[in-house]
Amino acid sequence: MALSRRSFLPALAAPYLALGQRRDRPHVLFIGADDLNNSLGCYGHPIVKSPNIDRIASMGVRFDRAYCQFPLCGPSRTSLLSGLRPDSTQILANNISVRDKVPNALTLPQHFKNNGWDSNRFGKMYHMDVPGSVGTNKWDDPPSWNTAISPPGKEQHTEGTRYPIETNGKAQWVSISFSNDGKDQADDRCADLTIEAFSQTKDPLFVGLGFVRPHVPNVAPSRFYDLYPLANIPAPVNPPDDRGDIPKASELCINTRANDIGMNDAGKREAIRSYYASISYMDWQVGRVLSALEKQKLLDKTIIVFWGDHGYHLGEHHRWHKRSLFEESARAPLIIAAPGRRGKGKGSKALVEFVDMYPTIAELGGLPVPQHCEGQSAVPLLDNPARPWKSGAFTQMHGPDNIVGRSVRTDRYRYTRWTGPYPDEELYDHQADPKEFTNLARQADKYKDVLVRMRGTLDAGWKAAKAKV
């Protein structure tokens, strides 16, 4: 039996606007994917097939250098949904609700709800353990939504062909392909609920559509695995001495997911294949929603935002996780398609941050940007993606033993400072070394001027890096 959003949580009261005003306001479709890096066709990936996300990029602006504020699910999502940086939320780990630390928060969906939008959450928006709390409302924020539904899914219990991957001597990473189209998966149900919401609405909608793929366990129909024959998947390649100049603090933050977690080359390729299959499965769900909006003639009345909550390592620096201040973990996809904007179909090299989403979407919706927001509206980039913008994007990481890492990405360099029991620093030249294999901080005399400048950029912080508009 199909799930009905009306059979779940009752609607919360919202200020009433005149009916004409409500109908004139744009819908917002806010799509988040879990543990998704930039392995997408629209970002130039040579293998991954993501035609539906690529379609969103053709409708809007693809941000090639978008950075999360904290490369971990809970802190990143809290930051982008609250408009506050991690130093302000003080949510520096998972399993913490936003109001545990910021009781008076005005979140992005709450701001729309308070101004007459019907605010809905289907799936994962705030932190949710995957697979452990899929189907629950753990760590959600009820004031953000009129309706909030966390559909259950079979996840690791799905019947199908299992591909156990040996890690650290145990077959503990399992990918699963199955024959049906995924009707027993949470992501499929979330797409159904979103389609239903748009088919029934007479009011402006804000829909937070939160997919759990490609987060492990990598579960997808077999036809998506078939897109990626194992023979076509290359194993990751790192220089023999790659880890020799990585600070100890960085290695401790990645913890059990370093050193290839004991996988051999065959296991690495299988892990990558299953990750790609999960992306294509999630992309298919995106396509189902887009087709429904197109059928209802709502595409030109809807602001569509697609984002991954942070990046994800697939063997770079021998890592298989997030929790890193390298590019692969700090950078994630961000695409914004807003009707009538002149940048349609273009990419932007501007440095943007996930904390910028709140003021951007508020402005696009015609709402005032709350004073608490610590990001900067990127609306000007939607009309002119090539215009000058921020001078730096900031990401931080907190680890065991009071380890703190703070990183700033500029147009050319990434600089990272580690404090705590193992103080150290990193400097990478993206012009000469885009994979960040050579830590130039180990050549301090040669790069003294650059180090001084980048230390100053980090110390000056996000306020000094804002774009002049």
Number of H helices, E strands in the chain: 14, 15
Cβ-based neighbours of 157, under 8 Å, separated by 6 or more: none
Q: What is the pLDDT of residue 340?
A: 95
User: What is the sign, positive or negative, of the torsion defined by CA atoms of 354, 355, 358, 363?
Assistant: negative
In a domain, 429, yes or no: no
Is a pLDDT exceeding 50 seen at residue 305? yes
CA distances from 448 to 406, 428, 444, 452 (A): 19, 13, 5, 6
Instruction: Name the nearest CA neighbour of 332 among 55, 79, 30, 40.
Output: 40
Q: Where are the beta strands (DSSP E) in 168-245?
A: 170-178, 205-210, 219-221
Q: Environment class of residue 1 by beta-carbon count within 10 Å: exposed (0-12), middle (13-18) or buried (19+)?
A: exposed
| H-helix segments, 140-297 | 186-200, 222-225, 248-254, 265-295
Predicted TM-score of the model (pTM): 0.95
Of 111, 127, 310, 317, which is the active-site residue? 127
Token pair 């294949």: residue: 273
Instruction: Name the nearest CA neighbour of 197 among 125, 278, 119, 140.
Output: 119
- Domain count for the chain: 1
Residue 267, domain CATH: 3.40.720.10
Quick one: pLDDT band at residue 132, thresholds 50, 70, 90?
Answer: very high
In a domain, 16, yes or no: yes
Q: Which helix (H) or strand (E) holds 61?
A: strand 61-67
In a domain, 446, yes or no: no
**Pair 401, 420: CB distance under 8 Å:** yes
In this structure, what token pair is assigned to residue 438?
């050579």
Q: Is 73 a catalytic residue?
A: yes
Rounded Cα distance between 380 and 226, Å, is 41
In this structure, what token pair is assigned to residue 219?
């579960």
**Pair 313, 74: CB distance under 8 Å:** no
In a domain, 416, yes or no: no
Is a pLDDT exceeding 60 seen at residue 286? yes
Instruction: Name the nearest CA neighbour of 130 among 214, 8, 70, 253.
Output: 214
Quick one: pLDDT band at residue 376, thresholds 50, 70, 90?
Answer: very high
- DSSP state at residue 185: S
User: What is the sign, positive or negative, of the torsion defined by CA atoms of 442, 446, 448, 450?
Assistant: negative
In a domain, 423, yes or no: no
Of 27, 42, 68, 73, which is the active-site residue? 73
User: What is the sign, positive or negative, of the torsion defined by CA atoms of 431, 436, 66, 287?
Assistant: positive
**Pair 465, 409: CB distance under 8 Å:** no
Domain range spanning residue 292? 5-387
* pLDDT, tens only, 327-373: 999 999 999 999 999 999 999 999 999 999 999 999 999 999 999 99
Q: What is the pLDDT of residue 10?
A: 31
* pLDDT, tens only, 49-86: 999 999 999 999 999 999 999 999 999 999 999 999 99
Quick one: pLDDT band at residue 3, thresholds 50, 70, 90?
Answer: very low
In a domain, 459, yes or no: no
The DSSP bridge partners found for residue 177 are: 161, 220
The residue-averaged pLDDT of 260-287 equals: 96
In a domain, 260, yes or no: yes
Q: Is 127 a catalytic residue?
A: yes
In a domain, 213, yes or no: yes
Is a pLDDT exceeding 50 seen at residue 259? yes
Instruction: Name the nearest CA neighbour of 357 among 79, 12, 56, 7.
Output: 79
Instruction: Name the nearest CA neighbour of 407 among 362, 448, 459.
Output: 459
**Pair 26, 302: CB distance under 8 Å:** yes
